[in-house]
Homo-oligomer: A and B are copies of this chain.
Amino acid sequence: MGSKVGEFRKKLKIVDVKGGPNEGLDRVGLMIVVAGWVRTLRAQSSVTFIEVNDGSCLSNMQCVMTSDAEGYDQVKSGLITTGASIWIQGNVVPSQGSKQKVELKVNKIVLVGKSDPSYPIQKKRVSREFLRTKAHLRPRTNTFGAVARVRNALAYATHKFFQENGFIWISSPIITASDCEGAGEQFCVTTLIPSSREAAESPVDAIPKTKDGLIDWSQVYTFGPTFRAENSNTSRHLAEFWMIEPELAFADLKDDMACATAYLQYVVRYILDNCKEDMDFFNTWIEKGIIDRLSTVAERDFVQLSYTDAIELLIKAKKKFEFLVKWGCDLQSEHERYLTEEAFGGCPVIVSDYPKEIKAFYMRQNDDGRTVAAMDMLVPRIGELIGGSQREERLEYLEGRLDELKLNRDSYWWYLDLRHYGSVPHAGFGLGFERLVQFATGVENIRDAIPFPRTPGSVEF
């Protein structure tokens, strides 16, 4: 064996050829092998053009073939069609066309796996609703390939940001016995005797499901799947989604807001710098102006205002809202979007110090007795992208709040315990990763921001 890093990856990918600063011109003259899937095939009288994609980048490799190429008979006989997987050997040459700098002059083509004529993703545009029923094939389209790459880049940038800033990634358990938000329905996770429907009908220990990343540590973050069992069938909710949740010790709400701002600016800058081709694609085809919008986010100071000021601003707004605004109410998506999109011209807005009645028990009570040190970051198109707070580190306040809300202290024994032994001011936030993907790519429906969406009634794939 004796394989060292990278040796297993002998084949060049299309991004390795065309992804460089001069789009492949430095590779001219090289003989290479491309392995991928046929996007289109155009046979002209003397020459055949095959567009091949291997998922490594948005660009196809245009492969140009004449009848003297080895394997040409498979092309001629119509065996190689859209969706087929092929292996092509050829020389990189400057392209005659205007769409690309280089193309491949084919010496040899091998059909690896043919594509049945029923292949559902033909060249003509297909709707995203339809593609959701083909989640196993949709990454082969331009849009979903680009979303997958940008999603990947956002995830990696997330790890890079926290690692570079001294955070430790911890995995928080999925199976827990507490419901920390106290919000609505829950999942029940239990074991079944294999395939036995009857077993599901017998009493089981109801183990409600949620996650809770808090731990006694200097700075930590989680990045893992989260579940919400609400029966909401919207373009903004999933039953299973990924969350990023940092927690900072010796930190207050200001630190929390600064961390959230630095994080968002970092990951947005990362994809602008590292996913140019995909971002250009989104800018042209999915949401015009998205690159400008994201550049603004990466560069501008965010607006910060209190919930009380935000309510006042909304009441004074000329706009007619569906939901009435008054102090004490939860902000609806329409209010959030008004603030960031209209009141502050597309700049992210951080609203802080919400009424304690509409926020979770563990948020730190402010001295005014009616608000807590919570913050939401609102961004254009999405509304709330990040929600965070300083946590209540004072034992007597925390116990008092549990009692007020008729929550059982015993269920929170270890959470209270942390206030017995060296409690510290701490703060954190949560960000729904698929909302970030929506924000960063422009895709309208959250089901298109995750490979295999889970929504009420949908568990296919």
- Please list the residues of chain A having a beta carbon within 8 angstroms of any beta carbon in chain B: 1-9, 11, 13, 15, 35-38, 54-56, 83-85, 87, 112-116, 118-119, 135-137, 139-140, 148-149, 151-152, 155-156, 159, 161, 163-166, 168-177, 184-197, 200-204, 206-209, 215-219, 224-225, 227, 229, 231, 239-240, 242, 248-251, 255, 257-259, 261-262, 265-266, 301-304, 350, 393, 414-415, 417-425, 450-452, 454, 459-461
> B187 and A115: CB pair below 8 A?
no
* Residues of the B chain whose Cβ atoms lie less than 8 Å from the Cβ of A240: 173-175
Q: Is the CB of A208 within 8 A of B188?
A: no
A37 → chain B closest CB, angstroms: 5
Cβ distance A52 to chain B, nearest Cβ, rounded Å: 11
- Say whether A168 contacts B191, CB under 8 Å: no
Q: A168 — nearest CB in chain B belongs to which residue?
A: B152
Task: Tell me the smallest distance from the CB of A323 to a CB of chain B, in Å.
Answer: 24
How many whole Å from A425's CB to the nearest CB in chain B? Answer: 7
Contacts of A193 in B (CB 8 A): 185
Selected contact of A169 from candidates B7, B155, B206, CB within 8 Å: B155
Contacts of A164 in B (CB 8 A): 6
Contact B13 A421 (CB under 8 A): no
Contact A422 B114 (CB under 8 A): yes
Can you add 16 more A-B contacts, CB < 8 Å, to A13-B166, A55-B249, A149-B168?
A55-B217, A83-B422, A85-B423, A112-B422, A113-B422, A136-B215, A137-B417, A139-B217, A148-B168, A156-B163, A170-B451, A184-B194, A185-B194, A186-B194, A188-B188, A191-B229
How many monomers of this chain does the complex have?
2
Interface core residue of A4, A7, A135, A215 (most chain B CB under 10 Å)? A215
A459 to chain B: which residues have CB within 8 Å? 173, 175-177, 207
A422–B55 Cα distance when bound, in Å, is 14
Q: What residues on B are CB-neighbors of A251 within 8 Å?
A: 8
Contact of A421 among B11, B83, B149, B196 (CB under 8 A): B83
Complex CA–CA separation, A423 to B227 (angstroms): 33
Q: Which of B5, B118, B191 contacts A187 (CB 8 A)?
A: B191
What's the Cα separation between A118 and B248 when bound, in Å? 26
Pick the residue among B1, B155, B248, B350 that contacts A1 (CB under 8 A).
Answer: B350
Instruction: Tell me which residues across on chain B come within 8 A of A219, comparing CB atoms.
Output: 55
Rounded to whole Å, the gap between the CB of A274 and the closest CB of chain B is 10
CB distance from A141 to the nearest CB of B (A): 11
A455: shortest Cβ distance to chain B, in Å?
10
| CA gap between A251 and B85 in the complex, in Å | 13
A271 CB to closest chain B CB (Å) equals 14
A262 and B5 in contact, given A152-B169, A421-B116 (Cβ under 8 angstroms): yes
- What are the 4 closest A-B residue pairs judged by CB atoms, nearest first? A113-B423, A8-B258, A3-B258, A55-B218
Which chain B residues lie closer than 8 Å to A415 at the CB level?
Answer: 136
Chain B residues positioned under 8 Å from A163 (CB to CB): 152, 156
Cα–Cα distance between A192 and B451 once the two chains are bound (Å): 26
- A113 engages B184 (CB within 8 Å): no
Residues of B within 8 A of A159 (CB): 155-156, 159
The CA-CA distance from A118 to B416 in the complex, in Å, is 14
A55: chain B residues within 8 A (beta carbon)? 168, 217-219, 249
Whole-angstrom distance between the alpha carbons of A419 and B84 in the complex?
Answer: 10
Q: Quick one: which of B139, B173, B423 contacts A454, CB cutoff 8 A?
A: B173
**A461 with B188: CB separation less than 8 A:** no
- Verify B422–A37 contact, CB threshold 8 A: yes
Q: Hey, which chain B residues are within 8 Å of A177, CB to CB? A: 459-460
A-B contact pairs, 6 of them (CB 8 A): A1-B302, A55-B219, A56-B218, A136-B414, A152-B169, A189-B209
Contact B169–A156 (Cβ < 8 Å): yes
> Given contacts A192-B206, A218-B56, A418-B136, are A262 and B171 in contact (CB under 8 A)?
no
Of all chain B residues, the one with the shortest Cβ separation from A84 is B422
> Which residues of chain B have C-beta atoms less than 8 A from A11's C-beta?
250
Closest approach, in angstroms, between the C-beta of A192 and any C-beta of chain B? 5
Interfacial chain B residues near A204, Cβ < 8 Å: 200-201
Kindly name the residue among A116, A189, A454 whose own CB sees the greatest number of chain B CB atoms within 10 A: A189
A421 B201 Cβ-Cβ under 8 A: no
Task: Give the distance to chain B from A333, nearest Cβ to Cβ, in Å.
Answer: 23
